Amino acid sequence: MTAKFTTLRAGALTTVQDAGRPGHAHLGVPRSGALDAPAMRLANRLLGNDPDAAVLETTLTGCALRPDRGVTVVVGGAPCPVTVDGRPAAWGAPLRVPAGAVLDVGAAATGVRSYVAVAGGIAVDAVLGSRSTDLLSGLGPLPLRDGDVLPVGAPARTAPPPVTAPWPGPPAELVLPVRLGPRADWFSPAALRTLVTAVYHVSPHSNRIGLRTEGPPLERAATGELPSEGMVLGAVQVPPDGRPVIFLHDHPTTGGYPVVAVVAEPALAAAAQAAAGTRVRFTPG
**105 and 231, same structural domain?**
no
Question: Among 151, 183, 201, where does a domain finish?
Answer: 151
**93 and 131, same structural domain?**
yes
**131 and 200, same structural domain?**
no
Question: Is residue 168, in this structure, part of any structural domain at all?
Answer: no
**186 and 117, same structural domain?**
no
CA 36 from chain centre, in angstroms, equals: 5
CATH of the domain at 236: 2.40.100.10
Give the span between the Cα atoms of 100 and 5, in whole angstroms.
9
**178 and 64, same structural domain?**
no
Predicted confidence at residue 156, as pLDDT, reads 83
**125 and 195, same structural domain?**
no
Question: Is residue 162, in this structure, part of any structural domain at all?
Answer: no
Overall domain count for the chain? 2
Question: Is residue 64, in this structure, part of any structural domain at all?
Answer: yes
Predicted confidence at residue 256, as pLDDT, reads 93
Predicted confidence at residue 73, as pLDDT, reads 97
Predicted confidence at residue 160, as pLDDT, reads 63
Task: Please count the other Cβ atoms lying within 10 Å of the Cβ belonging to residue 66.
Answer: 18
Q: Between β-strands 259-263 and 235-237, what pairing exists: parallel, antiparallel or unpaired?
A: antiparallel
> Which residues in the chain show pLDDT less than 70?
159-162
**276 and 242, same structural domain?**
yes
Give the span between the Cα atoms of 267 and 285, in whole angstroms.
11
- List the one residue out of 149, 153, 155 whose CA is nearest residue 5: 149
**211 and 252, same structural domain?**
yes
Q: Which domain holds residue 89?
A: 4-151
Give the span between the Cα atoms of 5 and 123, in whole angstroms.
11
Question: Is residue 197, in this structure, part of any structural domain at all?
Answer: yes
DSSP 3-state assignment of 227?
coil
**42 and 144, same structural domain?**
yes
Question: Is residue 235, in this structure, part of any structural domain at all?
Answer: yes
Question: Is residue 121, in this structure, part of any structural domain at all?
Answer: yes
149-151 sheet: strands from edge to edge = 87-88, 82-84, 103-105, 63-67, 4-9, 149-151
**193 and 59, same structural domain?**
no
Question: Among 99, 116, 151, where does a domain finish?
Answer: 151
Predicted confidence at residue 275, as pLDDT, reads 97
**139 and 182, same structural domain?**
no
The radius of gyration of the chain from alpha carbons, rounded to an integer in Å, stands at 20
DSSP 3-state assignment of 267?
helix
- Cross-strand partners of 238: none
Predicted confidence at residue 165, as pLDDT, reads 82
**∠ CA 50-52-56 to the nearest 5 degrees?**
110
- Whether the pTM exceeds 0.75: the reply is yes
Question: Is residue 233, in this structure, part of any structural domain at all?
Answer: yes
| 149 DSSP assignment | E
Question: Is residue 157, in this structure, part of any structural domain at all?
Answer: no
Predicted confidence at residue 223, as pLDDT, reads 84
Give the span between the Cα atoms of 244 and 212, in whole angstroms.
7
Task: Please count the other Cβ atoms lying within 10 Å of the Cβ belonging to residue 216.
Answer: 15
- List the one residue out of 143, 280, 140 whose CA is nearest residue 199: 280
Q: 42-90, pLDDT tens digit by residue?
A: 999 999 999 999 999 999 999 999 999 999 999 999 999 999 999 999 9
**235 and 118, same structural domain?**
no
Task: Please count the other Cβ atoms lying within 10 Å of the Cβ belonging to residue 139.
Answer: 17
Question: Among 151, 184, 219, where does a domain finish?
Answer: 151
